[in-house]
Amino acid sequence: MLQSKLFSKTTKNLPEGEETKNAQLLIKGGFINKSSAGVYSLLPLGLRVLDKINHIIREEMNAIGGEELLMPTLVQRRYWEQSKRWDTDVVYKTGASKKQGELEYGLGWTHEEVIAAIAVNFLQSYKDLPKAVYQIQTKFRAEARAQGGLLRGREFLMKDLYSFHTDTEDLNRYYNQVIGAYKKIFKRLGLRALATEAGGGAFTKEYTHEFQVLNPAGEDSIYYCQKCDFSQNQEIYDVNRHKGCDGKVVSGRAIEVGNVFKLGTRFSEAFNLSYADSSGKKHLIVMGSYGIGPTRVMGTIVEEYNDSAGIIWPEAVAPCRIHLMSLGDSPKTKKESDRLYKLLSGRFGSDEVLYDERAAAPGEKLKDADLLGMPWRLVISEKTVAVKKIEIKNRASSQSKLLSEKQVIAVLDGK
């Protein structure tokens, strides 16, 4: 990618009311654009990050037998009424009720109702179970406060997985499998997410689990052990649950990046979703639901990986792995940079190499590179050309090195 051709640019202008690091850095870097409070556009470099996050989530969902589908945003009022959730505060409602015969909708903020109604068509026998389906879809919530950048949007992306089982035992088995998949996902995304016990609200008396990333930008407070896996949301914190460990339990602010939920039969009852066992006897299907917010994950990654100069993208989700800089206006430098761009594009894919060939001052270009935060910065200048080397620097490190082309390739190959 040629930087001079990019639609977006870095900017110093910040819209009002953006207090969080993730919003500030993502807007300054041209990754996102604020449309209104809690509503953002993903600009090309930002969409690349989101796509990489989604790709990792998809791989792990498919690995535990999840089939991807896509449900609607316009969810007709009758669905919500059937589950008694039409009057939930966060639902955006639409449909021009003025006109005769027009339908009313709640914009999908979660899809237990829709998926239960769909499943009735396909899940009828114990032989059809278990099943798991998921979608990655834009969701809507009428949040009163929407000030956390990508951490709390009125419109945001959600991966929601739903599972269907013959009984609680099979749900428990799959629930633990999903927890395993979530741990893999967050690890691949560079996030240390604590599986934190939380309350089940109206759904269940059992604990549910939230995946919480300790970070001062978080809205949740959790209590967690510094030694073992114990972690509980402050709302249900019970010191007696921490047993058989002498580690210290401390509290901290955290960002909830995912959750897993045993729904039981609440929705299968509302939508008459049942199966026949081998003797033909009918039972309600037992359900689970499991969420991850990819846009919130993106914001969390920025909150976790930044310094005073900008973002420090982990390699797995960086818009581009390599930022190639041509500094100065010597024709020799330009020629050598062009050659290297071609070589790197061939080897790593042109999408993974952002080439700064702009006619801008070296200081401005290096400042932009720090703000944009690609993992590997390669500099070609008169100085490097003279010694037939390339300057390479990892964004997370303060040291640059002068290496030969062969050595640089080896570093980028991960050797």
Q: What are the two backbone dihedrals, phi and then psi, of residue 42, each rounded to the nearest 5 degrees?
A: -95, 110
Q: How many residues does the chain have?
A: 415
Contact 27, 18 (CB under 8 A): yes
Q: Which stretch binds a second copy (CB under 8 A): 68-76, 178-186, 250-258, 401-409?
A: 68-76
Q: What are the two backbone dihedrals, phi and then psi, of residue 167, each rounded to the nearest 5 degrees?
A: -155, 175
Q: Does 35 bind a second copy (CB under 8 A)?
A: yes
| Cα(334)–Cα(380) distance, integer angstroms | 8
- Please report, as residue ranges, which positions from 96 to 155 form the binding site for a second copy (by CB under 8 A): 96, 102-103, 105, 107, 114, 117-118, 121-122, 131, 133, 138, 140, 142, 154-155
Q: Does 68 bind a second copy (CB under 8 A)?
A: yes
Q: Quote the tokens at residue 116.
A: 């239960």
Write the CA distances from 43 to 74, 111, 141, 306, 353, integer angstroms. Answer: 25, 27, 22, 20, 17
Size of the site for a second copy (CB under 8 A): 54
Rule CB under 8 A: choose which of 23, 25, 49, 50 binds a second copy: 50
Q: Quote the tokens at residue 276.
A: 């026949």
Which residue type occupies 406? K
Rule CB under 8 A: choose which of 94, 147, 394, 407 binds a second copy: 94
Rule CB under 8 A: choose which of 93, 192, 241, 388 binds a second copy: 93
DSSP symbol at 125 = B
Nearer to a second copy, 8 or 168 (CB): 8
Rule CB under 8 A: choose which of 40, 182, 224, 230 binds a second copy: 40
Q: Does 227 bind a second copy (CB under 8 A)?
A: no
Contact 173, 140 (CB under 8 A): no
Residue 274: other Cβ atoms inside 10 A:
16
Nearer to a second copy, 122 or 216 (CB): 122
Contact 125, 275 (CB under 8 A): yes
Q: Which residues contact 341 (CB under 8 A, 6 or more apart)?
A: 324, 353, 355, 357
Cross-strand pairs, 290: 161, 260
Smallest separation, CB 188 to a second copy (Å): 21
Q: Helix, strand, or coil here: 401? A: strand
Residue 14: other Cβ atoms inside 10 A:
13
Rule CB under 8 A: choose which of 14, 19, 63, 74 binds a second copy: 74
Q: Which stretch binds a second copy (CB under 8 A): 38-46, 175-183, 228-236, 302-310?
A: 38-46
Smallest separation, CB 47 to a second copy (Å): 5
Q: Which stretch binds a second copy (CB under 8 A): 61-69, 166-174, 275-283, 341-349?
A: 61-69
Smallest separation, CB 76 to a second copy (Å): 4
Contact 257, 121 (CB under 8 A): no
Q: Does 76 bind a second copy (CB under 8 A)?
A: yes
Q: Does 397 bind a second copy (CB under 8 A)?
A: no
Smallest separation, CB 313 to a second copy (Å): 18
Contact letters for a second copy, residues 4-23 (x by CB under 8 A): -xxxxx-x-x----------
Question: In which region does residue 190 sit, left (phi positive, over 0), alpha (psi from -120 to 50) or beta (all else)?
Answer: left
Q: In the complex, which residues of this chain contact a second copy (CB under 8 A)?
A: 5-9, 11, 13, 30, 33, 35-37, 39-44, 46-47, 50, 65, 67-76, 79, 92-96, 102-103, 105, 107, 114, 117-118, 121-122, 131, 133, 138, 140, 142, 154-155
